[in-house]
Amino acid sequence: MSAKETLFVLVTKPFDLLPKSLAKSTLSMADKVTLAEEGVYNTPAKLSAAGVAVDLSKWSVLWEDAEARRVESVFSHSTYSDMAGDIEKYQKTIVL
């Protein structure tokens, strides 16, 4: 059995609606970040301007949520099935 990775973060809100210190700290420790619900409005430019380091290889967007909101995203696309797999794969999941 392989070791689980540590932290999966699910972002469900635009960054400007999150507690800044908590969000920055949590996102900096994340092994994987997925944007869902209203979180799909976050862009690398907005996140970088807020001081969040964005490693595109660790970030994805729930395609169904982005499509429902007519948001185009540069993040890799994931599905609800992918998200469920990530929740099982990682030792901890935090929802922001």
Structural domain boundaries, residue 45: 5-95
**Number of domains comprising the chain:** 1
**pTM of this structure:** 0.90
Mean pLDDT of the chain: 92
Residue 3 pLDDT > 60, yes or no?
A: no
What CATH number did the domain enclosing 88 receive?
3.40.1260.10
- State the pLDDT at residue 4: 60
- The pLDDT tens digits for 26-71 are 999 999 999 999 999 999 999 999 899 999 999 999 999 999 999 9
DSSP track, 15-69: GGGS-HHHHHHHHHH-SEEEE-GGGGG--HHHHHHTT----TTTEEEEHHHHHHT
